[in-house]
Amino acid sequence: DTGVSQDPRHKITKRGQNVTFRCDPISEHNRLYWYRQTLGQGPEFLTYFQNEAQLEKSRLLSDRFSAERPKGSFSTLEIQRTEQGDSAMYLCASSRQGLEQYFGPGTRLTVT
Amino acid sequence: GESVGLHLPTLSVQEGDNSIINCAYSNSASDYFIWYKQESGKGPQFIIDIRSNMDKRQGQRVTVLLNKTVKHLSLQIAATQPGDSAVYFCAENAGNMLTFGGGTRLMVKP
C-alpha cells in the first residue's frame, strides 16, 4: 500500500497525559498536512510542512500541540496535557506541491 | 471569517438515479476546489478537483461544476450505486490549506 498511513488508528488516554501520533506520507510528496475532525464536521486545518519546514500553523494549534517532520519524510503530532476537548479524529494528508491532498485513515483520539 | 458550506445535510436517492450535491463558497480568492468522499471510520477520499479557470470537469461517473459568478460548486454522480453512500465534502484552497464545509450525507436506497 503506497498511500498515507497513520499510527495508531485509535488512542484512548486520560486527561492530562501526553500523546504522540505518527504520519507517513506518500513517498514522493513534499508537503504534509495535519487536520482535526470532530463528529459531523469537516476537517479543520492545523499545520503543514514543506519538506522539513513547518510553514503554517492554525490558531487552533495551541501551545500544547507540536508537530515535527525532522527529515522531511514522516511527521509526528504531539499533544501535551490532553483535555477532553482534544477528543477528535486527527487526519494527515500529503501532496506534491500545489496538487491534490491525499488523506490517511486518521487517528481517533478519546480523552477520558 | 469566510467559509465553505453545503446546502443540504442529507440527500437520499434511489439506486441508479443521478445525485447532485451542492456547495456554496464565499472566498472569492479561492482558486482550487476539491470534492472528497468520506466513509465511516475512514479518512476523506479524493474524488475530483477543479481549478477556478474551469467551469466543468468530468471524471468516471462524476462531474464537478463551478459557477464563479454565484460562488457555487456542485458534484454530480451518475447512476448512483450503494457504494456511493458516504459523506461528501467540498473543500476550497485559497492558499496552502484546504477549508472544508460541513458535509452532505448521501444515502442510496436499493
Percent of chain A with pLDDT over 90: 81
Instruction: Say which of B41, B45, B100 has its CB closest to residue A42.
Output: B100
Beta carbon pairs, A and B, within 8 Å: 51
Whether B100 sits inside 8 A of A43 (CB atoms) is: yes
* Chain B residues near residue A5 by CB distance under 8 angstroms: none
**Distance in Å, alpha carbon of B44 to nearest chain A alpha carbon:** 6
State mean pLDDT over A4-28.
97
Residues A55, A33: Cα–Cα separation, whole Å: 10
Nearest CA in chain A to B105: A40
* Chain A residues near residue B45 by CB distance under 8 angstroms: 103
Instruction: Encode chain A in three state secondary structure.
Output: CCCCEEECCEEEECCCCCEEEEEECCCCCCEEEEEEECCCCCCEEEEEEECCEEEEECCCCCCCEEEECCCCCCEEEEECCCCHHHCEEEEEEEECCCCCCEECCCEEEEEC
Contacts of B95 (CB under 8 A, 6+ apart): A56
* Chain A residues near residue B99 by CB distance under 8 angstroms: 45
State mean pLDDT over A76-94.
97
Give me chain B's average pLDDT, please: 89
Whether A40 sits inside 8 A of B36 (CB atoms) is: no
- pLDDT tens-place string over residues A20-74: 999 999 998 999 999 999 988 899 999 999 999 999 899 888 899 999 999 889 9
Whether B103 sits inside 8 A of A42 (CB atoms) is: yes
- pLDDT tens-place string over residues B36-82: 999 988 999 999 999 999 999 999 999 999 999 999 999 999 999 99
Q: How far is CA B5 from CA B8, B24, B27, B101, in A?
A: 9, 5, 11, 4
Question: What are A's interface residues with B at a Cβ cutoff of 8 A?
Answer: 4, 33, 35, 40-45, 48, 55-56, 58, 91, 93, 100-106
